[in-house]
Amino acid sequence: MTSSAHISSSQLPVVAIVVPCYKEQEALPMSLPRLLYVLDTMTARRIAAEGSFILCVDDGSPDSTWQAILKAHDEDSRVQGLALAHNAGHQYALLAGLMDVRERCDAAVSIDADLQDDPDAIIEMVNAFRAGSEIVYGVRRSRSTDTWFKRNSAHAFYRLQESMGLQSVYDHADYRLMSRRALEVLASFREQNLFLRGIIPLIGLNTATVYYDRNERVAGESKYPLKKMLAFSIDGITSFSAKPLRWIFLTGLGLLIADVAVALYVFCSLLRGDTMSGWSSIMLSVWFLGSLLLMAVGVVGEYIGKIFTEVKGRPRFIVREHT
Ligand code: UDP
Ligand code: MG
């Protein structure tokens, strides 16, 4: 069973391009015509249906982003808008958009408003979708436009994630295509802390990868300064893994073993007589109590880890195929 499951071969897929926008009043007038051009190309080449559209999600921008969206909608009805009441953050704005289009399209492509990700890759993504992929990752060919720091910190983060058992796709941001079916599965993930890049690989349907070049922003400035990047990374780890809690327990256990060596050292010193009175008992209790406390915190952590996975209420299984 391949893509023909969701679109019959005679029909062209309706593609929705979902664009989260926060303070993008300068970028939108440049990026929307570019995205409309991609839609034109796909309909002309009979890759996507006439009814394909763009959904701009205004993530509570204080500037005139929403006015820019309305203006674009007046000029071309294929541009649609969805305004969030507050600044919910990139991941939530994206989710809001994807959930909004999921019943009106065959596939949704998410792309940033600044068009740092080459929009022509959308065409390749849709082709991969038509060839049977449910999720198509956009992966950067090179990170040459990034600073040395951003490039290396990103790669270190991927490695850290992997060490905690998270699947991650290197050099893939949130530029991807998801089929309607993949969107349905995504809808069944009920967690509040959203880290889409970590969830998508858990969907486990057929995937493909499309490579593209990443450019500079067309206008405006990045809304991801170091502080937000760091917060995003910490969220990414703590919303997927309870391993840091287990590490506390294991550290306590390790220290408890080390206590034997400390005890030997203390007794030797005591026998040699080169100790002050009270030193031995303080040494032993500091080490022993320290490791016990750490282990106790770790045990509590183990239970919190269980609660953590329970409250997420994630689907316990995802059906891939049915005869
Ligand atoms: N964005 C958003 N809400 C936010 C911050 C950013 O919807 O609170 C959008 C932003 O408009 C852009 C995308 O998320 O379309 C990525 O942000 P940005 O380009 O600033 O991040 P960078 O590419 O620098 O990592
Ligand atoms: Mg950007």
Q: What is the per-residue pLDDT across 199-256, written as a single tens digit (0 to 9) for each? A: 899 898 999 999 998 887 877 888 777 788 788 888 888 888 888 888 999 999 999 9
Cα 168 to averaged position of ligand 1 atoms, centre (Å): 20
**Rounded Cα–Cα distance for residues 30 and 289 (Å):** 63
Which residues hold their Cβ within 5 A of ligand 2, which is an ion?
112, 114, 116
Q: Find the mean pLDDT for residues 24-31.
A: 96
**Rounded Cα–Cα distance for residues 216 and 240 (Å):** 31
Cα 285 to averaged position of ligand 2 atoms, centre (Å): 54
pLDDT of 322 = 65
The pTM score is 0.82
**Which of 125, 138, 156 has the alpha carbon at shortest distance from 211?**
138
Over 50: is that where the pLDDT of 2 sits? Answer: no
Q: What six digits make up the tokens of 306?
A: 């269980």
Over 60: is that where the pLDDT of 6 sits? Answer: no
Over 80: is that where the pLDDT of 165 sits? Answer: no
Q: Is 108 left (phi over 0), alpha (psi -120 to 50) or beta?
A: beta
Residue with CA nearest ligand 1 atom 5: 90
Q: Find the mean pLDDT for residues 93-97.
A: 94
pLDDT of 259 = 93
**Rounded Cα–Cα distance for residues 316 and 298 (Å):** 26
- What lines the ligand 1 site, CB under 6 Å? 20-22, 24, 59, 87, 89-90, 93, 112-114, 116, 222-224
**Rounded Cα–Cα distance for residues 292 and 251 (Å):** 10
Cα 115 to averaged position of ligand 2 atoms, centre (Å): 7
- The DSSP annotation for 265-299 comes to HHHHHHHHT-S-TTHHHHHHHHHHHHHHHHHHHHH
Q: What type of residue is 206?
A: N
The full length of the chain comes to 323
CB-CB neighbours of 72 under 10 Å: 23
